[in-house]
Structure 1
Amino acid sequence: MRVRRTVLPGGLRVLTEQVPATRSVSVSATVGDGSRDEHHGHFGSTHFLEHLLFKGTPSRSALDIASAFDEVGGDANAATGKEATTYYARVLGSDLPMATAVLLDMVTSAVIRPDDVELERGVILEELAMADDDPGDVADEAFATAVYGAHDLGRPIGGTPDTIRAVPREAIWEHYLGAYRSASLVVTAARAVDHDELCAMVTEAAVAGGWELDPSAAPAARRGGDSPPLEGGTGMTLTRPTEHSTLILGGRGLEAASANRFTLSVLNSVLGGGMSSRLFQEVREKRGLAYSVYSFASSHTDAGLFGLSAGCAPEQVATVAAVMAEQWDRMAQDGITERELLRAIGQLCGSLVLGLDDVGARASRLTRAELTFGELWSVEDSLESLRAVTAEEVRVLAGELLARPRSLVVVGPDESDLAADLLYGLS
């Protein structure tokens, strides 16, 4: 396997990982612009653009774009995040020129017609309504808002019904022109790819799209430090007519490039990362309080979240919250056993290596290295860092996270201020 990186004129970056003897390829075009980059009047624009870029360009209709991938057995899609928006495809290696041309045409030459904006406005509102019917999605968004507060990271990635209804076509177009430019674009491909050939394809497609590729232009600087302030914990109860309740207890975690990120991975694995984890064993296996229970960690350039989540009967919310808090407290006080440490390291190392069998995961890894970390860690270095984590480091980090303000979100049929009351009792 060989990884290469080239900065093309205009500051456009291309990264590839060539894997011999493979037939498929995953290619993506990522703009370093996400929901946190929207300003007043533009809220919802990044999610809108994710939809609108598939609606056509001067040379391709929406049907042309869809047919190009369907007729070769490939697939294409897009994803909006808080810090980036990605358009990606998976095709046979022989179809990489087509996939690159279509994706770059979408990124450089979207027309964003007024009629398409209104059409997709209804589609996005349906998408948001569907997410609002999922207690897990509701809890996840509410937890980010509870922890990050008024900071841009606390806003929903997809926008809200109000912002989607309000944002005009002119604001979406303005956001597109400002964010979709060569210096902000990162193209990655993995497996059946020749780096030099891809660079030539990307350059040709960008020029065809009308981008002026200034040879002296540099890539956009990596995101600066606009870290959200560390605020007090928040209790948030959202009433939904559900048969069970979803709760998340947690707070601020680590930024993506933190030196402690491998320790956090081990901590997360032991506490709630699988069927042998403490949360699963204590909440589900020993007490039968919940079907789903786990912990999670998510990170951005300058901030992160760490939480414990469960779904249970409404009358068990208080008990489950108390048990989750107890397990977190116990880890901070007593640490973990050597057996738990070795089991977590083995789980993480195996998951890391097996995950790279997914061609899309390899391309995503390159994109995140470029936009978030500023460097690409080899698989060997990552495995070595995981194996170097100690039980004492896990205990110390658990205590540091526990010392930060904790928030609690509850989504379910309860109409009282349940989360705030429970959070006060857990403090």
Structure 2
Amino acid sequence: MNVEITRLSSGLTVVTETMPHLESVALGVWIKSGSRNETEDEHGIAHLLEHMAFKGTARRSARDIAEEIENVGGELNAATSTETTSYYARVLKDHVPLAVDILADILTESEFDEEELRREKHVILQEIGAANDTPDDIIFDRFSEAAYRGQTIGRPILGTPETVKGFTPAQIRNYLSRNYTTDRMFVVAAGAVDHGAFCKQVEERFARLPRTPSTTPVLETARYIGGDVREDRDLMDAQLLIGFEGKAYHMRDFYCSQILANILGGGMSSRLFQEVREHRGLCYSVYAFHWGFSDTGIFGIHAATGGDDLPNLVPVVIDELRKASETIDQQEIDRARAQIRAQLLMGQESPAARAGQIARQMMLYGRPIPNPEMMERLAGITTERLTDLAGRLFFDTVPTLSAVGPIEQLAPLADITTALSSPGFQTKKAAG
């Protein structure tokens, strides 16, 4: 890796990876703060702030921001997640100073004009409505709310119509001053970038960022609870999500969980895809995933199927979970490792993907992780570790179930929980 790291006197960390064969640069600012850092009365404000950052500063109107970056053929965007927020751009190498200037402008001099705020609230209300009308989106929100009931980490990132309507510029500034500080921010660039010149540009333009928060940042410790949330809708298909408490980023079994998710439902060769879709034809979409957070995680299986297939689908899925706790082939591990390695290497061919990867690693581990080190961690995963992990994940924790659509024939959660602790139950139900 041709990665350089500099910590500026302001406390801001700058990281670059030079790709001299490229003509473009992907750059951005990543903040170790997201929807999880909101207080009780701030639900949705992290996402609103991300929107408002583009709505005008002391030097630029919203239209100026859009036109200046697009006048040079560049792109500008942002994203909010549970634990992070990012603002990023992609430009040709000659226009890096402009991109740095715009990013610094929106992060240090946004005005949060009342009229712009009113309009953007309306936009977000439409976004919330669109999400509620999209079953394969809303099912994940419902799942998180059940898994972490009554906690900030379980709330939808977008907020609610009631909370969004009530936000004021003062509330936005308060969240900003508490979370957007140099000790929580990383400026990253990948592509045709010169590290020294980039550091100088960042140091000059981001000098106004506060070094420490105005008050102590909010971060409630996660408590996985589990539960059942269902919404019967008149839809063509049923969306089903079954999950368990996974592993946090820093836990020993994190990478093991990633491999297990890949083996169970990471592609067309995975167990769930082959058994549920190809062999039995019970659904058109099925996959497994593992999300890691700073202090918890989620291991889930998502399927989309017809309501009439639910009585057969669930037992077959549970049977595959049980099989994973009994036996896993070395060939499956090798295939999963090969897929992860390919994803890592392919990501390095994209400056945008590489900048995001570096930023995430800096926030999680405090340093970029070289690919050989990543593969070395994966190399230590054995069949015994995977089967042991599967047993603990699927049969020693309370499940969470979320379902939307024609779900009248979906078994009660109590029956599914029983199936997870009763050998042989799944096969009988599938056969019946």
TM-score band w.r.t. shorter chain: over 0.9
Per the normalisation by structure 1, the TM-score is: 0.93
CA offsets, 1:94-141, max 9 Å, x none?
Answer: 111111110111011110011111100100011111111111111111
The 5 Å alignment of 1:196-345 reads 196-207=196-207, 210-211=208-209, 226-231=220-225, 233-332=226-325, 334-345=326-337
Q: Which residue of 2 aligns with 1:156?
A: 156
Aligned to 2:235, the other structure's residue is in SS state coil
Residue identity (%) = 35
Deviation of 1:218 (Å): 7.9
**Does the CA contact (< 8 Å) of 1:2 and 1:17 recur in 2?**
yes
Partner Cα separation in structure 1 for residue 165 and residue 212 of structure 2: 37
1:395 to 387, 411, 414: 387
**Does the CA contact (< 8 Å) of 1:254 and 1:305 recur in 2?**
yes
411-420 or 236-245, which deviates more: 411-420
Aligned to 1:322, the other structure's residue is in SS state helix
Per the normalisation by structure 2, the TM-score is: 0.91
The 5 Å alignment of 1:79-158 reads 79-158=79-158
Partner Cα separation in structure 1 for residue 404 and residue 305 of structure 2: 11
CA offsets, 1:236-272, max 9 Å, x none?
Answer: 1023332100001111111012222221122111100
Deviation of 1:419 (Å): 5.2
Partner Cα separation in structure 2 for residue 317 and residue 270 of structure 1: 23
79-88 or 68-77, which deviates more: 68-77
Deviation of 1:182 (Å): 2.7
Partner Cα separation in structure 1 for residue 48 and residue 195 of structure 2: 32
Partner Cα separation in structure 1 for residue 176 and residue 412 of structure 2: 39
1:357 to 343, 349, 354: 349
**Does the CA contact (< 8 Å) of 1:408 and 1:420 recur in 2?**
yes
Q: List structure 1 runs of 4+ shifted beyond 4 angstroms.
A: 217-220, 223-226, 415-419
Where do 5+ consecutive residues of structure 1 fail to align?
none
Deviation of 1:229 (Å): 2.2
**Does the CA contact (< 8 Å) of 1:225 and 1:302 recur in 2?**
no
The number of aligned residues is 418
Aligned to 2:206, the other structure's residue is in SS state helix
Output the amino acid matched with 1:324.
Answer: V
Aligned to 2:27, the other structure's residue is in SS state strand
Output the amino acid matched with 1:354.
Answer: M
Partner Cα separation in structure 2 for residue 361 and residue 155 of structure 1: 27
Aligned to 2:250, the other structure's residue is in SS state coil
CA offsets, 1:185-214, max 9 Å, x none?
Answer: 21111121111111111111123xx446xx
Partner Cα separation in structure 1 for residue 158 and residue 364 of structure 2: 21
Partner Cα separation in structure 1 for residue 258 and residue 409 of structure 2: 35
**Does the CA contact (< 8 Å) of 1:13 and 1:219 recur in 2?**
no
Deviation of 1:85 (Å): 0.9
CA offsets, 1:23-76, max 9 Å, x none?
Answer: 111101122221011002222110110100000101011111111221122211
Residues 417 and 165 of structure 1: CA distance in aligned 2, closer, same or farther (over 3 Å): farther
Output the amino acid matched with 1:348.
Answer: I
CA RMSD of aligned residues (A): 2.2
